[in-house]
A and B are shown apart, each in its own frame.
Chain A
Amino acid sequence: GQQVMQIPQYQHVQEGEDFTTYCNSSTTLSNIQWYKQRPGGHPVFLIQLVKSGEVKKQKRLTFQFGEAKKNSSLHITATQTTDVGTYFCAGLGGTSYGKLTFGQGTILTVHP
């Protein structure tokens, strides 16, 4: 079945440093989504990428979807303490209605 791998599992950064998490799928995806889960909270949708090679930005966050639609990345520039949490990618396969496959998540800690 479809698998989505995400690395790294943990990332500790000093406030102001950059952060990147990577996501790789075993199969071609129709789209990929990113979610953020704050400690003690629930996942919250950040963005959806659909097109091959797509790049989207949200303030300090940059999201990329690979040309082959099998990988994606999330880059945060100049991290802030409010960025702490777990970042998940989630891929949707071509025929998997409603079945988003989540990566294991990257737990980001930001030291002030």
Chain B
Amino acid sequence: KAGVTQTPRYLIKTRGQQVTLSCSPISGHRSVSWYQQTPGQGLQFLFEYFSETQRNKGNFPGRFSGRQFSNSRSEMNVSTLELGDSALYLCASSQTDEKLFFGSGTQLSVL
């Protein structure tokens, strides 16, 4: 089975722009979670989708949004980018036992 695929791998944006990140889960996995990883804050939970429904949301501002499609692929959008949004964004998929399989992440740099 193919692993979790995240695109793009690297992204450079400027403040005020918006960005969309994509995640394709492992085939058969219906849950997709997003995490933000920074050196100082560790792994921070953004949101989790299951069968196109957001089941849980972390403590991030409304500029961070996501969605999941009927094929379980997910996208994450960040609008009005700020310097502090620079981070590695990790997507993870899982089946019902909640064990997470992470993708390689998208490294976002905001200049």
Measured CB to CB, the residues of A under 8 A from B are 1, 31, 33, 35, 41-45, 48, 88, 90, 92, 96-105
Contact = CB atoms under 8 A, between A and B. Distances in A.
**Most A CB within 10 A of own CB, among B98, B99, B101, B104:** B98
Interface of B: 31, 33, 35, 42-45, 48, 50, 55-56, 58-59, 90, 92, 94, 97-105
Contact of A99 (B48, B99, B104): B48
B98 A92 contact: yes
Contact of B56 (A96, A103, A105): A96
Contacts of B58: 99
Contacts of B59: 1
Contacts of A102: 35, 42-45
Given A97-B55, A98-B48, A44 B42 contact: no
Given A42-B104, A43-B100, A45-B101, A100 B90 contact: no
**Most B CB within 10 A of own CB, among A90, A100, A103:** A100
Contact of A44 (B43, B45, B102): B102
21 contacts: A1-B59, A31-B98, A33-B99, A42-B102, A43-B100, A48-B97, A88-B43, A90-B43, A96-B56, A97-B50, A98-B48, A98-B50, A98-B98, A99-B45, A100-B45, A100-B98, A101-B45, A102-B35, A102-B43, A103-B42, A105-B43
B35 to A, nearest CB: 8
A105 B58 CA distance: 19
Contacts of A103: 42
A97 B56 contact: yes
Contact of A98 (B31, B44, B103): B31
A79 B65 CA distance: 41
A105 to B, nearest CB: 6
A77 to B, nearest CB: 24
